[in-house]
Structure 1
Amino acid sequence: MGDLSSAPVPALRSDDHVRGDAASEELVVMYADFSCPRCAVAALRLRNAEAPVVFRHFALKTRHPRSVPLARAAEAAALQEAFWPFHDSLFGDQGRIDDPHLWDRCERLGLDVGRFEADRRSDAVAERVARDLRDGMRAGVTGTPALLRLSVD
């Protein structure tokens, strides 16, 4: 009989979104979906956590139709150094997640909306979101929010 265990949580990457000290010995990895109400609650609780938090996307359009567009929007904001403010804004107001509301968020955060639109439709951003989903599935994530520990050697 073969090994049915999950792969380990992927190591910290240079493009991971980390809130707190990335050099900490132990990190909390949160696989989440911006349209998931339980994820919003978990994100709020983790804002004040002692352990640094790594955010990774677990966007399944079959569960939430806006999950992939929102993940791509957050990555586009990240390319303008605004991942965490955009993250907090999305989780803070999940009732306004359609495109016009995303553009309003960009304007409030001082982002270039034209660049945001081009970036969120790019292949690189799509691959970044898809990679997080694949890695989460390999690590045994089946739903959101999923909180996993990552030890840094």
Structure 2
Amino acid sequence: MGDLTSAPIPAVRPEDHLRGQPDDPELVVMYADFSCPRCAVAAIALKDAGSSVVFRHFALRARHPRAVPLAHAAEAAAMQGAFWPFHDALFADQGRIDDPHLWDRCNDLGLDLDRFEVDRRSDAVAQRVTRDLREGMRAGVTVTPALLRPSVD
């Protein structure tokens, strides 16, 4: 048998959720799940430290039944320019992650709730979440949070 190797972490892309500077030598790619308490701690610590971060989804239904729906919700918020505020709100209060609480977050952020509902059920959102998960798996991510350095193209 050959050696087991992983693919590199994909380089930062224009469509990535980036907080900070893409050329920051300390940039971290965080593969995470919005239902993961350790991810919340890491996300809050990275934000408080002012770290440059790319967020990518590593949502597995088998680990938590709300993981994929929350990833889809965050992507729907992103389609209205509110990924990071939605991200921060989810991690700040993981005890309230059911749909009525998501709708409250949308209202608090001034999002169009009808558009949010359509977008979170869209193929584009599902494909984005699946892409992140597959790329993370190829790169050897097995647990969340995974804090990695991106590849340089």
Please report the TM-score for the alignment, with normalisation by the length of structure 1.
0.96
Report deviation, 1:13: 1.2
Report deviation, 1:151: 5.0
**Residue equivalent to 1:137:** 137
Mapping for residues 123-134 of structure 1, pairs under 5 Å? 123-134=123-134
Question: What stretches of structure 2 of length at least 5 have no aligned partner?
Answer: none
Q: Check whether the contact 2:31–2:58 (CA below 8 A) recurs between aligned residues.
A: yes
**Residue equivalent to 1:47:** 47
Question: What stretches of structure 1 of length at least 5 have no aligned partner?
Answer: none
Cα separation, 2, equivalents of 1:40 and 1:25? 23
**Residue equivalent to 1:147:** 147
**Residue equivalent to 1:15:** 15
Q: Indicate yes or no: 2:81 matched with 1:98.
A: no
Q: Check whether the contact 1:72–1:126 (CA below 8 A) recurs between aligned residues.
A: yes
What SS does structure 1 have at the residue aligned with 2:55? strand
Report deviation, 1:26: 4.2
Flag as ranges the 4+ runs of structure 1 deviating above 2 A.
23-26, 48-51
Q: CA RMSD in A?
A: 1.2
Tell me the matched-pair count: 153
Counterpart of 1:140, as a letter, is: G
Counterpart of 2:9, as a letter, is: V
Mapping for residues 44-123 of structure 1, pairs under 5 Å? 44-123=44-123
Q: 1:85 to 1:12 in 2, by over 3 A?
A: same
Cα separation, 1, equivalents of 2:152 and 2:49? 18
Cα separation, 1, equivalents of 2:92 and 2:48? 15
Cα separation, 2, equivalents of 1:100 and 1:51? 31
For residues 54-89 of structure 1, give each alpha carbon's deviation from its aligned partner in whole angstroms, at most 9, with x where no partner exists.
000000000010000000000000000000000000
Please report the TM-score for the alignment, with normalisation by the length of structure 2.
0.96
Counterpart of 2:16, as a letter, is: D
Report deviation, 1:11: 1.0
- Bigger shift: residues 15-24 or 85-94: 15-24
Cα separation, 2, equivalents of 1:31 and 1:49? 18
What SS does structure 2 have at the residue aligned with 1:31? strand
What SS does structure 2 have at the residue aligned with 1:48? helix
Q: Percent identity?
A: 76
